[in-house]
Amino acid sequence: MRYAEVAAEVLGRPARLGPVRLVAVDGPSGGGKTTFGARLAAAVRAAGASVTVVNTDDLLDGWNDMLTFWPRLEEWVLGPLRAGRPGAYRRYDWYAEDFSSGWQAVPVTDVLVLEGVTSGRRAIRADLTLLVWVTAPRDLRMARSVARDGEHTRDAWLQWTHGEAAHFADDATEAAAEIVVQGAPGDQDFDPETEFLGDISGSTDLTR
């Protein structure tokens, strides 16, 4: 499946978050959401549209904020965009364990890619143009997360995975997704910059 096809599908649909087409890229930690979101954003730009990417990790107040950061996201980003106004957010510094004093601008663009755990939760689905689920085998996800954040985060990551599993089971996020992406492509022969392995629901008009 090609990122360009997904970008065309998104741009062909109506905006639901005010004037913005909101794409949520959700799934368990370490699955490949950040990579997918960045490559989809590149495809949207290549199609001639404007796009912003927001990573929900930047809005978390530490490891225990998986669910409760949402009002912050709504106040700072989603609410203003829904009203047609630019948003902004303060980025959390995971080393300093505090939010930065500066604000990251979120302009009103054609597309907003919101990527991160719980980004596609039930509370936002009425505003979504597309929900994507990205996953990979647990061992690979843990290896990626530890390599990214450091060995000292292993215990916190393991605790986090229990919380996200409970959330996903209650929220039925994967079942609601229109595209399910395999974040561990293995030995498949394709260009990962422009293509990905995934399955689509019957309601999504994409070619394989």
Position 199 confidence tier, pLDDT thresholds 50, 70, 90: confident
- Distance separating alpha carbons of residues 31 and 37, to the nearest angstrom: 12
In a domain, 206, yes or no: no
**Element housing 63 (H / E):** none
Each residue's pLDDT tens digit, 9-46: 999 999 999 999 999 999 999 899 999 999 999 999 99
In a domain, 83, yes or no: yes
Q: Could you list the residue range(s) of the whole structural domain that residue 190 is in? A: 3-200
Position 179 confidence tier, pLDDT thresholds 50, 70, 90: very high
How many domains are contained in the chain?
1
- Distance separating alpha carbons of residues 48 and 172, to the nearest angstrom: 34
- Distance separating alpha carbons of residues 193 and 92, to the nearest angstrom: 29
**Average of per-residue pLDDT across 63-69:** 92
Contact 4, 46 (CB under 8 A): yes
**78 vs 198 pLDDT, higher one:** 78
Tokens of 200: 């689509």
Each residue's pLDDT tens digit, 152-176: 878 888 888 899 999 999 999 999 9
The interaxial angle of helices 33-46 and 3-11, nearest 10 deg, is: 70
In a domain, 10, yes or no: yes
CATH number, position 60: 3.40.50.300
Residue 208 has pLDDT above 50, yes or no: no
Contact 40, 25 (CB under 8 A): yes
In a domain, 71, yes or no: yes
Taking the model in full, what pTM does it have? 0.91
